[in-house]
Amino acid sequence: MSIQEITTNLMQGGQLSAEEALRLANDPDKEALYEAAHQVTCHFMGNRFDTCSIINAKSGNCSEDCKWCAQSGHYATKVQLYPLLPATECVRHAVYNRKQGIGRFALVTSGKRVSDKEMRQITDTVRTIKQQTDIKCCASMGLLTREQLQQLFDSGVENYHCNIETAPSYFGQLCTTHTIAQKMETIRMAREIGFRICCGGIVGMGETMAQRIEMACFLRENEVHSIPINLLHPIVGTPLQETPALSEEEWLTTIALFRLINPTAYLRFSGGREQISEASQRKSLYVGINAAIIGDLLTTIGSKAEEDKRLFTEMGYSLTEQTDWVG
């Protein structure tokens, strides 16, 4: 099929196969691919744009050996180490971010999962946040038990984030201390409890374009509607510290294919995008990015909220629409 036939088929409810996606990735006419992804974004998602912010509520000393991560205790990185932040600090950030017009606030913790004692502190913090602001709360806390997930949900957290990080066929080369199957079990339990799910990954970790397509198709098969797409920021001290950067064309092609494979998802600018030129950030927003983490990002430097909001609105997006997704 031609790119226009593929676009028409998607708008009529069809799906893009992995084989078709790889063919498009290899087609030299990138502008046609980008335009098709833009049309699909507009058709299914309109001009809605979802914003969220995060706080690194517990940092470093992680037991897991993820090769990309500054938080891992297996590698000598310069990440700041600290235990769970007090409620006052988290609440202050949540209230500040809401005043900036940001719709969601995520508590992110290092480690395979938080302890039951830490969970009690976290749920108290969430309840205090909900008392002081109407920002929607999210959490990213690893492979929680069903009981912990239920406690988190009952405290007022609406979205649970658990990235698959990369294609299932490649994950084992990047992490040996847990599996994608364990992540998907966490996601399954979170969904059953009632959470909306946010699940994506990192590109530029040495995977092939075919593996990026595999990841996008896996997320579609699992009906994920909020997909953070990080660009690897190589961290000194980690095994991926010397990984070559993706070209901006390869990044844009990845965004376009994620959009064609996942037409109704929020594709979320996440960590590492400061490595992309402003022109390519704008092109990414044109092609298919329609959500973003804004403010300060975890262990890498992010972008400032006001600058981001101006950029998104200049690209035609509305930051005031209802953006909750289902599932």
pLDDT tens-digit profile of 181-194? 999 999 999 999 99
> Domains in the chain: how many in total?
1
Asked if residue 235 is part of any domain, the answer here is yes
Which pLDDT does position 327 carry in this prediction? 85
Which pLDDT does position 297 carry in this prediction? 47
Q: For helices 3-11 and 18-26, give the axis angle rounded to 10 degrees.
A: 140
In degrees, rounded to 5, the angle at the alpha carbon of residue 70 between the alpha carbons of residues 67 and 73 is 80
Which pLDDT does position 300 carry in this prediction? 41
Asked if residue 97 is part of any domain, the answer here is yes
Amino acid making up residue 30: K
Tokens of 170: 């490649």
Which pLDDT does position 296 carry in this prediction? 54
Asked if residue 264 is part of any domain, the answer here is yes
Which pLDDT does position 78 carry in this prediction? 86
- Say how far apart CA 304 and CA 296 lie, in whole Å: 7
Residue 261 belongs to domain spanning: 51-314
Asked if residue 193 is part of any domain, the answer here is yes
Asked if residue 31 is part of any domain, the answer here is no
**DSSP code of residue 113:** B
Asked if residue 134 is part of any domain, the answer here is yes
Q: CATH code at 247?
A: 3.20.20.70
Asked if residue 42 is part of any domain, the answer here is no
What does the CA dihedral 4, 9, 10, 13 come to, rounded to 10 degrees?
Answer: 160
Which pLDDT does position 298 carry in this prediction? 42
Which pLDDT does position 301 carry in this prediction? 37
Residues of the chain with pLDDT under 70: 296-303
Asked if residue 244 is part of any domain, the answer here is yes
